[in-house]
């Protein structure tokens, strides 16, 4: 047996999981987080092949940006590691779909359809981001114990004994699942090669055999390209005509005869089970608009010497309109440019491309269009153009500033000019219900991003950028102690603290971290509980239930976990896992702990029944990721903050939005209700704290920071007479009513 390397990068190798012509996969342990990972290395034979190395690096860079419940998560990629590039990714339980199919473990039609639907959704997510798998097959789909399907080896197609090579270069894929255009060596293939492969898998799941079989490679390839497959027998297999037509369409020889994209195929799969499609199908107008924007952007990036980013933009255009000749030719040109550069330099995943300078041919031109639309009084059209620009260039300052202008409410009678009421003027005219003055500022420069108030309001906790948690006595403004995890004590630092929570009885404090770790300390002893908790991605939010029985945590790995506090004290990490459709950036208990509300990266709020984990309702309103949640003391009013810079209020009884508060310039980072339920305070990583009058929807008071001061987190004392806020320079400021 081949000797195992002791380590790869920082990862300690434990065992070999598999070996092939492309490389080797090892089981390893992350010494920092203590989690198990899978580490894939590139074979020595391919390291000297500049074309394959360049492809490996480019595709790994793309795959690393894919965060989806049905795609394996990539944690790290090091293109310059000693011994060659490696990829560290999530180590999955469960079994490959190929094994389950061989053992005929899947018997229910509904289970088969749901698995294929998950694969379609994962692929659609990737295709919309310009990434094509090229080697979809049952062996590259892992089925977890909870029946979740995970796509493996994304964008890193292997070359093994059964892989073909044509005059145009390597043709990626496994023959039984390769599309006709792959076999024919078409220079540019699009996302519909993955659709064909999914169609083959679906056919195989329904019939127990592949649509094309042969004892020789030559005959197999000829049949895939030229011969029809055996039609499905609806009566014999117990299938609906809709499902049979779906299979026929996905396995059409001509790509243009297949579905337009995987989202459409996923919707048809659901409909075949008599379920509403619930898939966002773009209108023809939206497709054309997105296609035009992306292809123009790809061309400008290519001119500016950024072919890797140009290819991503061109792939996005192709995913919208795959049959357009102009995008096919553009991709050919870009890939030719990349191949010519492969021997000159290596595209490193860890170093993102610098933002391009806007030029009049693309971003500036579209911004001018938006301004013209606003001048003409068409705010909706102006905002649509700006959102299109930001989808391509999130850092475009003119687009960001114009969106801020457009999202503020226009003054009556002035909408056509785009002029707006000044919030400062509105505030000056408002009779304030509350007015605060600064009482004291204290603390240490540890860069806290978040604070939490103990239930008895004598202690405030501040999470530092070094991963520690400092406890401060509010009466004396003196530091009581610094809580450090075991990792922090050994290394001197840990991932930044993203969230803090006290238990209702004041016995425990929990901290969530950017590296996915969760720590709990007993405030009676000051000791950390000896139990390992966490997520595979950054922890977005944590909160103890009102009865103290549960600790809820949400992560950017798209999971919600409910930890049993009684077992945590015994050193056992018992929890319930509730998978989510997108990363969890915020959460809060409501209705005395009966409900749990989560806010997500996909802009949606989800209301869960805590006892069953069942989804009760979804709430919509934000135009960007939800960043903070809190609920009023009576449990009826939910306040949510978003990266769209708005605070939105929802009536939980009616499950509807009742008001939107706009006035911040940045993403909302913290919100707190006043005890009267008529006011809230909010901060947004900027120099102002706003106290809102919920009846009028206007600021009742605004507290400004000094030069370079930024407010990160806010808490309200139970009496409503004091506010505490964390500053990013490490201090804590307290205000009291004047």
Q: Tell me, yes or no, whether 394 and 442 share the same domain.
A: no
- Please choose, from the candidates 150, 209, 206, 201, the residue with its C-alpha nearest in 3D space to the C-alpha of residue 178: 201
Q: Which of 91, 123, 139 is the last residue of a domain?
A: 91
Confidence at residue 346, expressed as pLDDT on a 0 to 100 scale: 39
What tokens appear for 515 in the block? 């590296």
How far, in Å, CA of 361 to CA of 299, rounded? 10
Pairing of strands 539-544, 688-693: unpaired
How far, in Å, CA of 63 to CA of 60, rounded? 5
Q: Tell me, yes or no, whether 481 and 332 share the same domain.
A: no
Give the least confident one: 123-137, 243-257, 482-496.
482-496
619 in helix, strand or coil? strand
How far, in Å, CA of 541 to CA of 628, rounded? 8
**H-helix or E-strand spanning residue 472:** strand 469-473
Q: Which of 226, 260, 281 is the last residue of a domain?
A: 281
Across residues 573-587, what is the average pLDDT? 92
Using 50, 70 and 90 to split pLDDT, how confident is the model at 448? low
Question: Judging by beta carbons within 10 Å of its beta carbon (0-12, 13-18, 19+), is residue 672 exposed, middle or buried?
Answer: buried
- Residue 247 is assigned to a structural domain of this protein: yes
- Do the beta carbons of residue 727 and residue 685 sit within 8 Å? no
Using 50, 70 and 90 to split pLDDT, how confident is the model at 279? very low
- Residue holding tokens 């939800």? 626
Q: Tell me, yes or no, whether 71 and 138 share the same domain.
A: no
- Do the beta carbons of residue 402 and residue 440 sit within 8 Å? no
Angle at 566 between CA 563 and CA 570, to 5 degrees: 105
Q: Which three-class secondary structure string do you get for 128-167?
A: CCCCCCCCCCHHHEEECCCCCEEECCCCCCCCCCCCEEEC
Confidence at residue 433, expressed as pLDDT on a 0 to 100 scale: 43
Confidence at residue 546, expressed as pLDDT on a 0 to 100 scale: 92
Give the least confident one: 124-128, 207-211, 510-514, 612-616.
124-128
Handedness of CA 536, 541, 544, 549 (dihedral sign): negative
Instruction: Give the E-state strand segments of 172-327 in sequence order.
Output: none
Q: Tell me, yes or no, whether 6 and 87 share the same domain.
A: yes
Q: Tell me, yes or no, whether 33 and 67 share the same domain.
A: yes
- Residue 336 is assigned to a structural domain of this protein: yes
**Would the pLDDT of 185 be above 80?**
no
Q: What pLDDT digit, counting tens, does each position of 629-639 carry?
A: 999 988 889 99
**Would the pLDDT of 680 be above 90?**
yes
- Residue 407 is assigned to a structural domain of this protein: yes
What tokens appear for 660 in the block? 């939107």
Q: What pLDDT digit, counting tens, does each position of 212-240 carry?
A: 988 888 888 889 998 999 999 888 888 99
Using 50, 70 and 90 to split pLDDT, how confident is the model at 44? low
Using 50, 70 and 90 to split pLDDT, how confident is the model at 684? very high
- Residue 619 is assigned to a structural domain of this protein: yes
Q: Which of 400, 421, 442 is the last residue of a domain?
A: 421
CATH of residue 36: 3.30.200.20
Give the least confident one: 99-113, 379-393, 449-463.
379-393
Confidence at residue 52, expressed as pLDDT on a 0 to 100 scale: 65
**Would the pLDDT of 46 be above 70?**
no
269 in helix, strand or coil? helix
- Do the beta carbons of residue 324 and residue 341 sit within 8 Å? no
Choosing from 135, 515, 644, 701, the catalytic residue is: 135
Q: Tell me, yes or no, whether 399 and 340 share the same domain.
A: no
By residue range, what is the domain housing residue 57? Answer: 1-91
694 in helix, strand or coil? coil
**Would the pLDDT of 677 be above 60?**
yes
Q: Which three-class secondary structure string do you get for 698-731?
A: EEEEEEECCCCCCEEEEEECCCCCEEEEEECCCE
- Residue 713 is assigned to a structural domain of this protein: yes
How far, in Å, CA of 57 to CA of 706, rounded? 46
Q: What pLDDT digit, counting tens, does each position of 660-669 carry?
A: 999 998 889 9
Confidence at residue 423, expressed as pLDDT on a 0 to 100 scale: 35
Confidence at residue 682, expressed as pLDDT on a 0 to 100 scale: 96
Our count of domains for the chain comes to 5
- Do the beta carbons of residue 60 and residue 155 sit within 8 Å? yes
285 in helix, strand or coil? helix
| Nearby residues of 454 by Cβ (< 8 Å), 6 or more positions away | 460, 461, 502, 506, 509
Using 50, 70 and 90 to split pLDDT, how confident is the model at 153? confident
Using 50, 70 and 90 to split pLDDT, how confident is the model at 243? very high
CATH of residue 461: 2.130.10.10
Residues 251/252/253/255 CA torsion (nearest 10 deg): -100
Give the least confident one: 128-142, 407-421, 566-580.
407-421
CATH of residue 256: 1.10.510.10
Using 50, 70 and 90 to split pLDDT, how confident is the model at 659? very high
Using 50, 70 and 90 to split pLDDT, how confident is the model at 422? very low
- Residue 461 is assigned to a structural domain of this protein: yes
Q: Which range in 72-76, 446-450, 656-660, 709-713 is most confidently predicted, on average pLDDT?
A: 656-660
Confidence at residue 651, expressed as pLDDT on a 0 to 100 scale: 92
Across residues 117-137, what is the average pLDDT? 87
- Residue 266 is assigned to a structural domain of this protein: yes
Q: What pLDDT digit, counting tens, does each position of 556-574 carry?
A: 889 999 999 999 988 888 9
**Would the pLDDT of 526 be above 70?**
yes
- Report the half-sphere exposure of 367 (CA within 13 A, side-chain side): 19
Q: Tell me, yes or no, whether 235 and 322 share the same domain.
A: no
237 in helix, strand or coil? helix
**Would the pLDDT of 702 be above 60?**
yes
What tokens appear for 94 in the block? 């469960």
Q: Tell me, yes or no, whether 117 and 263 share the same domain.
A: yes
Q: What pLDDT digit, counting tens, does each position of 161-172 carry?
A: 333 333 333 344
pTM for the model: 0.46
Q: Tell me, yes or no, whether 77 and 113 share the same domain.
A: no
Q: Which range in 288-292, 437-441, 540-544, 708-712 is most confidently predicted, on average pLDDT?
A: 540-544
Using 50, 70 and 90 to split pLDDT, how confident is the model at 609? very high
- Please choose, from the candidates 366, 370, 362, 304, the residue with its C-alpha nearest in 3D space to the C-alpha of residue 337: 304
Q: Tell me, yes or no, whether 495 and 625 share the same domain.
A: yes
What tokens appear for 407 in the block? 């999202």
- Residue 337 is assigned to a structural domain of this protein: yes
| Nearby residues of 272 by Cβ (< 8 Å), 6 or more positions away | 113, 240, 242, 243, 246
Phi, psi at 663, each rounded to 5°: 180, -15
Q: Tell me, yes or no, whether 440 and 474 share the same domain.
A: yes
**Would the pLDDT of 400 be above 60?**
yes
Q: Tell me, yes or no, whether 445 and 389 share the same domain.
A: no
Query: Any catalytic annotation for residue 78?
Result: no
Q: What percent of the chain has pLDDT over 90?
A: 31
Confidence at residue 59, expressed as pLDDT on a 0 to 100 scale: 59
**H-helix or E-strand spanning residue 306:** none
**Would the pLDDT of 465 be above 80?**
no
Q: What pLDDT digit, counting tens, does each position of 111-123 carry?
A: 999 999 999 999 9
| Nearby residues of 467 by Cβ (< 8 Å), 6 or more positions away | 484, 485, 487, 488, 493, 494, 495, 496, 497, 513
């Amino acid at each position: 047996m081949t000797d195992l390397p002791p380590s790869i990068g920082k990862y300690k190798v434990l065992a070999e999981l598999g070996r092939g012509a492309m490389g080797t996969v090892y089981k390893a342990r992350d010494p920092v987080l203590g989690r198990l990972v899978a580490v894939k290395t590139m074979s020595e034979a391919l390291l000297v092949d500049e074309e394959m190395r360049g492809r490996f690096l480019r595709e790994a860079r793309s795959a690393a940006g894919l965060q989806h419940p049905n795609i394996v998560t990539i944690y790290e990629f090091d293109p310059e590691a000693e011994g060659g590039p490696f990829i560290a990714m999530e180590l999955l339980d469960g079994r490959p779909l190929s094994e389950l199919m061989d053992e005929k473990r899947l018997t229910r039609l509904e289970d088969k359809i749901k698995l294929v639907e998950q694969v379609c959704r994962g692929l659609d997510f990737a295709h919309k981001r310009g990434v094509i798998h090229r080697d979809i097959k049952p062996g590259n789909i892992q089925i977890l114990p909870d029946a979740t399907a995970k796509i493996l080896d994304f964008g890193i197609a292997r070359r093994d004994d059964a892989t073909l090579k044509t005059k145009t270069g390597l043709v990626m894929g496994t023959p039984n699942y390769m599309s006709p255009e792959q076999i024919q060596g078409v220079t540019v293939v699009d996302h519909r090669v993955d659709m064909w492969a999914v169609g083959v898998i679906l056919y195989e799941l329904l019939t127990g055999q592949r649509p094309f079989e042969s004892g020789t490679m030559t005959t197999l390839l000829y049949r895939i390209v030229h011969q029809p497959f055996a039609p499905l027998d609806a009566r014999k297999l117990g299938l609906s005509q809709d499902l049979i037509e779906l299979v026929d369409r996905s396995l059409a020889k001509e790509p243009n005869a297949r579905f337009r994209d995987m989202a459409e195929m996923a919707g048809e799969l659901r409909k075949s089970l008599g379920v509403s499609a619930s898939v966002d199908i773009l209108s023809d107008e939206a497709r054309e608009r997105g296609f035009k924007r992306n292809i123009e952007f790809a061309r400008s990036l290519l001119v500016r010497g950024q072919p890797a980013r140009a290819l991503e933009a061109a792939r996005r255009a192709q995913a919208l309109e795959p049959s357009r000749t102009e995008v096919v030719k553009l991709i050919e040109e870009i890939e030719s440019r990349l191949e010519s550069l492969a021997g000159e330099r290596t595209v490193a995943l860890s170093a993102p491309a610098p933002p391009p300078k806007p030029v009049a041919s693309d971003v500036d031109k579209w911004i001018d269009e938006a301004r013209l639309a606003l001048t003409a009084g068409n705010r909706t059209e102006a905002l649509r153009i700006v959102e299109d620009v930001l989808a391509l260039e999130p850092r475009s300052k003119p687009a960001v500033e114009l969106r801020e202008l457009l999202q503020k409410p226009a003054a009556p009678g002035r909408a056509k000019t785009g002029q707006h009421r000044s919030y400062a003027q509105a505030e000056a005219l408002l009779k304030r219900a509350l007015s605060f003055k600064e009482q004291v500022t204290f603390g240490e420069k540890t860069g806290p991003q978040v604070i939490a108030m103990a239930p008895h309001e004598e202690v405030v906790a501040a999470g530092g950028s070094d991963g520690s948690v400092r406890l401060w006595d509010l009466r004396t403004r003196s530091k009581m102690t610094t809580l450090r995890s075991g990792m922090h004590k050994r290394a001197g630092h840990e991932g930044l603290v993203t969230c803090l929570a006290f238990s209702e009885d004041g016995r425990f404090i929990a901290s969530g971290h950017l590296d996915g770790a969760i720590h709990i300390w007993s405030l009676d002893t000051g000791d950390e509980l000896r139990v390992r908790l966490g997520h595979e991605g950054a922890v977005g939010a944590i909160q103890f239930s009102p009865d103290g029985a549960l600790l809820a945590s949400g992560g950017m790995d798209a999971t919600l976990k409910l930890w049993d506090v009684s077992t945590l004290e015994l050193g056992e990490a018992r929890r319930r896992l509730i998978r989510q459709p997108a990363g969890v950036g915020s959460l809060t208990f409501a209705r005395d702990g009966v409900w749990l509300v989560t806010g997500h990266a996909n802009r949606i709020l989800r209301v869960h029944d805590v006892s069953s984990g069942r989804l009760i309702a979804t709430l919509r309103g934000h135009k960007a990721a939800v960043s903070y949640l809190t609920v009023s003391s009576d449990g009826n009013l939910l306040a949510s903050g978003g990266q769209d810079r708005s605070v939105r209020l929802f009536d939980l009884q009616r499950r509807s939005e009742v008001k939107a508060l706009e006035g911040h310039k940045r993403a909302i980072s913290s919100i707190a209700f006043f005890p009267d339920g008529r006011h809230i305070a909010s901060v947004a990583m900027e120099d102002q704290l706003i106290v809102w009058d919920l009846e009028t929807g206007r600021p009742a008071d605004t507290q400004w920071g000094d030069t370079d001061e930024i407010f990160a987190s806010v808490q309200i004392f139970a009496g409503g007479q004091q506010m505490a806020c964390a500053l990013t320079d490490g201090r804590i400021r307290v205000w009291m009513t004047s």
